[in-house]
C-alpha cells in the first residue's frame, strides 16, 4: 500500500494549506495579467483560440454566402481571396494547434500529480506571442491587407509583390512569430511530461493524454522548423530579391512545396492526435472501464506520428515527380490508416467491454469519430495517385479536408469542453443545450460538406469566387451554404451555454463523472494544483487507490507546505519517476509580456521595412530575455537540501542531464537542428535539379570555410575544458578558457563571412550564392548566440552565480556548443567542398 504521512492536527494542516494558497495566489488588478499560473495561462490560451476560431468561422460563412448562387457579387474577388486565405490560416495556425496547447497547459499538471509545469514563464511568453501574432494576422483584413494567396502561400504568386501585396509578408512574419509560441509550448510540454510526473508514475503508467501530447510535442519539433526555414527563404526573396523560388535565376518553387508540406501533413496529425487523446480520457470514464489495449494505443500513437512524416508528397502528386516517388508516398499514405484504425478499434473495444453512458461528451466524441472515419475513407481515395490526378484542387479535396479536421478535431474538442468544464467553475454545462448543439452541428456539417464531394467530382475547382449557372454546381453550393449556417447555429448554442451566467447554480461534485485519472483531484476554486504531491500506483489512481483524494487534500504526501514561501514542485526521473530534486518554480512577472511585446514589435516592424524600429525592438527583446534569464533561472538556493515529507530529503539544485534546463536546451536544439537540416535539404535540392548547380561560380573556396571550421572546433574544445576546470574549482583557468573561446568564436565568424565576400558571391544573381549565404549566415547567427552565452557565463562567474557546485548555466551552454559543432561541420564541408570535390 502507498505510504502516507503521519496524521497531523487539523490546525497544522490548515496553516500549511493557507501558506500554499498565499504562495500560489495570483495578483489582482493590472498585475493579474502577469500571472504565469498554468490554470490561468491555459484558460487565456483556450479563450483566445476559441475567439480566433469564431472569427475564422465568420469568414467561412462569408465565403459560403458568396458561393450560394451563381454570379454573386456579395464579395469582390480580392476580398474573397483574403477571406478564404485567412480562414484556413486562422483555423490551422491560430486554433487547431493552440487549443491543444491550451488544454495541455491547463490539464497536465494535475493529471501528472504536479503543482506546475517546469517553465511557467515560458508558457506565459508563448501565450502573449500567440495573442499578439494572432491579432496582427487577423487584423490585416480590416485594412484590406490580409494575405490572399491561400493558406499555403505557393510561389510564384505569393512571391510577386504586385500580386500578393503586403499580405504575404504579414502571413510569413506573423506566423513565424506564432510558431515561436508553438515551439516554446512543445519544449514546456516535453520537459513537463518527462521530468515532472508524480512519484511512482512510471512512463508506462502515464495517462494516455500525456502520451499523446508527448508524441505531438515531439512532432512539432520536427514539423514546424522546416516551415520556419521555408519562411526565411521566402522572406529573403520578397525583401532582398534572393532568387530561391525564381526559375530564371536557378530557383524552383517546388522547394517551397516540399518544405511546406513536410510541415503541413504532420500538422494534420498534430491536430488529430490530441483530439484522440481527449477521447482516450472520455471513453474509459463513460464506459466505467479501463482502456483496453493501453500498450497498443500508445504504439499506435507513436506509429501515427512517425508515419505522418512520410506522407507529404501526396499533396504534390500533380507536380511531375518521378513514378517511384509517387508509388512510395502513395503506399505510405495508405499505411498510416493502420495505426489510426488501431486507436479507433481500441475505443470500440473499451465501450463493448464496459457499460456506456451516453452523455454529451460521448455524443460529440462518437459523432466526431464517425465523421473522421468518413474523411479517412476519402483520404485513402486521394492517396491513390491516379484518383488524385482527377480530384486534385477540386472541392472533393475541400470536403475531405474538413471531414478529417472537423470530425477529427472540432467535435472531440467540444466533447472535451463539456467533459472538463467542471474543472473551470465546478459546474457542468447544460445537457439539453449540448445535445441540441450536437445535432445542429452534426446535421449541419454533413449538409455543408458532403455535397462538396459531388461538386468536386463535377469539376468545381477550389478558390473560385463565383461560377456561371450552366455548369451544374448551383444547387450543390446552395445546399452547402444552408448546411454551413446550421453548423454555425450549433456552435452559437455552445457559445451561449458557456457564456451564460451560472453563479446561481449549485456547485457540483469535485469528480462529477466518476473519472479515474488524477486531474479530477484539483479544485476549481484553487489554481495552484495538488494540495500535496502523491505517490501513484495505477493508471487510474482514483479508481484503484483507496482514499487517495482525501489523503492528497489533507497534505499527507510530498511538499504539503511552503515553509520558505516559494512555489515548489518535484523533478522526477524520466523512466521510473523517482524524486530527484525540489524545483523552485518562477512566480508572476512582467518580463514574459515585455519580451513578447518587443519581439512582436520586431516582426511587425520588419513586415513594413521599418528597419530602425526593427533594431530597437530586437535590442529590447534581447535585453528583456537576458534579464529574464539572469533573474529567473538557475537561482542559487539558500540551502542544499529540503525535507519534502515521508522521510525523504532532496536537493534544491541539480545540473546536467538531471535538470529541467538541460532537457529544455537539448529539446530546443533538436528543433533548431531540424530547421538547419531543412536548409541543407534545400542546398542539395537545387543540386539535383541543375546540371551545373553553381552556374559557373567559384563558390566560397575551401580555405576560408576550413579555417572557420577549425576555429569553431577550437572554441568548442575550449568550452569543454572550461566546464572541466570549473568542476575542479579552477575558477581563473575556467574564465580564461571562456575568454579564449569567445575570441575563437569571433575569429570563426570572420572566417565564415570571408569566403563568400572574398569571392564576390552576390546572392541576387543566382540561387547558388544565395543558398551559400543562407547557410553561412545561419551558422554565424548561431555562433554569435554562442558568443553571447560565453560572455553570459563569464559574467555569472564574476558575479558569484556560477561555481563548481552551481554550474547549470555552463552545463547548458556546453550542450549548446555540442549542437553548434555538429552543425558547423556539415555547413563548412558542404559549402567549401561540395560540389567542388565532384
Average pLDDT over residues 260-285: 94
3 pLDDT above the threshold of 70? no
425 pLDDT above the threshold of 90? no
- Whether the Cβ atoms of residue 812 and residue 661 lie closer than 8 Å to each other: yes
**Integer Cα distance of 278 and 491 in angstroms:** 19
**Integer Cα distance of 745 and 627 in angstroms:** 23
Q: Would you place residue 598 in the very low, low, confident or very high pLDDT band (cuts 50, 70, 90)?
A: very high
Q: Would you place residue 27 in the very low, low, confident or very high pLDDT band (cuts 50, 70, 90)?
A: confident
Residue 523: per-residue pLDDT? 75
Residue 518: per-residue pLDDT? 93
4 pLDDT above the threshold of 70? no
Q: Using the 8-state DSSP alphabet, how is residue 557 labeled? A: S
Give the least confident one: 160-164, 250-254, 291-295, 436-440: 160-164
- Half-sphere exposure for 477 (CA within 13 Å, toward CB): 28
Collect all residues with Cβ–Cβ distance below 8 Å to 696 and sequence separation of at least 6.
none
63 pLDDT above the threshold of 50? yes
Percentage of the chain modeled with pLDDT above 70: 99
713 Cα distance to chain centroid: 33
**Among candidate residues 159, 336, 139, the one with its CA nearest the CA of residue 237:** 159
Average pLDDT over residues 489-515: 91
Exposed e or buried b for every residue in 213-226, given b needs 16+ CB within 10 A? bbbbbbbbbbbbbb
837 pLDDT above the threshold of 70? no
139 pLDDT above the threshold of 60? yes
- What pLDDT, in 10s, does the model give residues 203-226? 999 999 999 999 999 999 999 999
Cell of 803: 561555481
- What pLDDT, in 10s, does the model give residues 687-704? 999 888 888 888 898 999
Collect all residues with Cβ–Cβ distance below 8 Å to 691 and sequence separation of at least 6.
none
**Integer Cα distance of 502 and 559 in angstroms:** 34
Helix, strand or coil for residue 660?
helix
**pLDDT top residue among 587 and 48:** 48
Residue 504: per-residue pLDDT? 82
Question: Do β-strands 579-584 and 641-645 pair in parallel, antiparallel, or remain unpaired?
Answer: unpaired
Q: Which spans in 421-473 are helix H?
A: 422-425, 431-457
569 Cα distance to chain centroid: 24
Residue 1: per-residue pLDDT? 43
Answer yes or no: pTM beyond 0.85: yes
Strand partners, 583: 569
Q: Would you place residue 2 in the very low, low, confident or very high pLDDT band (cuts 50, 70, 90)?
A: low
Give the least confident one: 20-24, 368-372, 675-679, 813-817: 20-24
Average pLDDT over residues 163-167: 90
- Whether the Cβ atoms of residue 205 and residue 130 lie closer than 8 Å to each other: no
Residue 530: per-residue pLDDT? 85
Helix, strand or coil for residue 579?
strand
**Integer Cα distance of 26 and 187 in angstroms:** 24
Cell of 796: 555569472
**Integer Cα distance of 111 and 119 in angstroms:** 17
106 pLDDT above the threshold of 60? yes
Mean pLDDT taken over the chain: 93
447 pLDDT above the threshold of 50? yes
In the chain, what are the helix, strand and coil shares in percent, each to the nearest 5?
70, 5, 30
Q: Measure the N-to-C terminal CA separation of the chain; round to a whole number of Å.
A: 68
- Whether the Cβ atoms of residue 59 and residue 123 lie closer than 8 Å to each other: no
Amino acid at each position: 500500500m502507498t505510504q502516507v504521512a503521519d496524521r497531523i492536527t487539523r490546525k497544522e494542516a490548515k496553516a500549511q494549506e493557507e501558506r500554499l494558497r498565499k504562495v500560489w495566489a495570483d495578483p489582482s488588478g493590472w498585475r493579474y495579467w502577469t500571472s504565469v499560473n498554468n490554470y490561468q495561462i491555459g484558460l487565456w490560451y483556450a479563450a483566445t483560440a476559441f475567439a480566433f476560431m469564431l472569427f475564422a468561422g465568420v469568414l467561412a460563412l462569408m465565403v459560403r454566402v458568396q458561393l450560394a448562387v451563381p454570379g454573386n457579387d456579395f464579395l469582390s474577388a480580392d476580398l474573397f481571396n483574403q477571406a478564404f486565405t485567412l480562414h484556413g490560416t486562422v483555423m490551422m495556425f491560430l486554433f487547431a494547434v493552440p487549443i491543444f496547447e491550451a488544454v495541455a497547459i491547463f490539464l497536465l499538471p494535475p493529471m501528472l500529480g504536479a503543482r506546475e509545469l517546469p517553465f511557467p514563464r515560458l508558457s506565459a511568453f508563448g501565450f502573449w506571442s500567440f495573442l499578439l501574432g494572432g491579432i496582427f494576422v487577423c487584423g490585416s483584413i480590416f485594412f484590406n491587407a490580409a494575405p490572399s494567396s491561400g493558406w499555403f502561400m505557393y510561389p510564384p504568386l505569393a512571391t510577386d509583390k504586385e500580386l500578393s501585396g503586403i499580405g504575404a509578408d504579414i502571413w510569413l512574419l506573423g506566423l513565424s512569430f506564432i510558431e515561436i509560441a508553438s515551439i516554446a509550448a512543445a519544449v514546456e510540454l516535453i520537459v513537463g511530461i518527462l521530468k515532472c510526473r508524480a512519484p511512482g508514475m512510471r512512463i508506462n503508467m502515464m495517462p494516455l493524454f500525456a502520451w499523446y501530447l508527448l508524441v505531438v510535442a515531439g512532432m512539432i519539433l520536427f514539423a514546424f522548423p522546416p516551415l520556419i526555414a521555408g519562411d526565411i527563404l521566402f522572406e529573403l526573396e520578397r525583401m532582398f530579391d534572393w532568387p530561391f523560388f525564381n526559375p530564371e535565376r536557378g530557383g524552383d518553387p517546388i522547394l517551397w512545396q516540399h518544405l511546406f508540406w513536410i510541415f503541413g501533413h504532420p500538422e494534420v496529425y498534430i491536430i488529430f492526435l490530441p483530439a484522440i487523446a481527449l477521447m482516450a480520457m472520455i471513453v474509459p470514464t463513460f464506459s466505467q472501464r479501463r482502456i483496453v489495449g493501453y500498450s497498443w494505443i500508445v504504439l499506435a500513437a507513436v506509429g501515427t506520428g512517425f508515419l505522418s512524416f512520410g506522407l507529404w508528397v501526396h499533396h504534390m502528386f500533380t507536380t511531375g515527380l518521378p513514378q517511384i516517388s509517387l508509388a512510395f508516398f502513395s503506399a505510405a499514405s495508405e499505411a498510416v490508416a493502420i495505426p489510426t484504425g488501431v486507436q479507433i478499434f481500441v475505443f470500440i473495444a473499451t465501450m463493448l467491454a464496459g457499460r456506456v453512458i451516453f452523455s454529451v461528451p460521448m455524443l460529440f466524441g462518437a459523432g466526431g469519430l464517425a465523421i473522421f472515419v468518413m474523411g479517412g475513407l476519402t483520404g485513402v481515395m486521394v492517396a491513390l495517385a491516379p484518383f488524385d490526378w482527377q480530384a486534385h484542387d477540386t472541392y472533393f479535396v475541400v470536403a475531405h479536408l474538413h471531414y478529417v479536421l472537423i470530425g477529427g478535431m472540432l467535435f472531440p474538442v467540444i466533447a472535451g469542453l463539456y467533459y472538463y468544464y467542471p474543472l473551470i467553475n465546478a459546474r457542468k454545462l447544460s445537457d439539453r443545450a449540448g445535445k441540441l448543439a450536437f445535432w445542429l452541428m452534426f446535421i449541419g456539417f454533413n449538409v455543408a460538406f458532403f455535397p462538396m464531394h459531388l461538386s468536386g467530382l463535377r469539376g468545381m475547382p477550389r478558390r473560385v469566387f463565383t461560377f456561371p449557372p450552366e455548369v451544374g454546381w448551383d444547387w450543390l453550393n446552395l445546399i452547402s451554404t444552408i448546411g454551413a449556417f446550421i453548423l454555425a447555429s450549433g456552435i452559437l448554442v455552445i457559445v451561449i451555454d458557456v457564456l451564460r451566467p451560472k453563479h446561481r447554480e449549485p456547485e457540483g461534485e469535485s469528480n462529477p463523472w466518476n473519472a479515474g485519472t488524477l486531474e479530477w483531484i484539483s479544485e476549481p476554486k484553487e489554481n495552484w494544483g495538488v494540495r500535496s504531491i502523491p505517490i501513484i500506483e495505477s493508471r487510474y489512481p482514483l479508481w484503484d487507490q483507496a482514499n487517495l483524494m482525501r489523503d492528497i487534500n489533507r497534505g499527507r504526501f510530498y511538499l504539503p507546505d511552503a515553509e520558505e514561501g516559494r512555489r515548489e514542485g518535484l523533478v522526477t526521473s524520466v523512466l521510473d519517476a523517482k524524486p530527484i530534486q525540489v524545483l523552485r518554480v518562477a512566480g508572476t512577472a512582467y518580463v514574459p509580456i515585455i519580451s513578447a511585446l518587443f519581439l512582436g514589435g520586431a516582426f511587425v516592424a520588419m513586415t513594413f521595412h521599418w528597419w530602425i524600429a526593427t533594431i530597437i525592438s530586437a535590442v529590447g527583446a534581447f535585453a528583456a530575455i537576458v534579464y529574464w534569464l539572469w533573474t529567473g533561472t538557475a537561482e542559487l538556493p539558500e540551502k542544499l537540501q529540503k525535507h519534502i515529507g515521508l522521510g525523504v530529503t532532496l536537493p534544491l539544485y541539480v545540473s546536467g542531464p538531471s535538470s529541467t534546463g538541460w532537457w529544455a536546451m537539448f529539446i530546443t536544439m533538436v528543433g533548431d537542428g531540424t530547421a538547419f537540416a531543412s536548409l541543407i535539404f534545400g542546398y542539395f535540392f537545387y543540386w539535383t535539379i541543375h546540371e551545373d548547380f553553381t552556374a559557373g561560380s567559384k563558390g566560397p573556396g575551401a580555405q576560408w570555410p576550413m579555417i572557420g571550421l577549425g576555429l569553431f572546433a577550437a572554441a568548442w574544445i575550449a568550452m569543454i575544458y572550461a566546464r572541466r576546470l570549473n568542476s575542479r574549482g579552477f575558477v581563473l583557468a575556467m574564465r580564461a578558457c571562456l575568454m579564449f573561446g569567445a575570441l575563437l568564436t569571433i575569429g570563426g565568424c570572420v572566417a565564415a563571412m570571408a569566403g563568400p565576400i572574398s569571392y564576390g558571391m552576390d546572392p541576387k544573381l543566382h540561387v547558388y550564392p544565395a543558398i551559400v549565404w543562407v547557410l553561412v549566415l545561419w551558422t554565424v547567427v548561431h555562433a554569435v548566440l554562442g558568443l553571447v552565452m560565453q560572455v553570459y557565463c563569464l559574467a555569472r562567474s564574476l558575479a558569484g552565480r556560477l561555481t563548481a557546485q552551481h554550474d547549470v548555466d555552463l552545463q547548458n551552454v556546453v550542450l549548446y556548443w555540442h549542437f553548434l559543432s555538429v552543425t558547423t561541420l556539415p555547413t563548412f564541408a558542404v559549402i567549401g567542398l561540395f560540389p567542388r570535390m565532384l
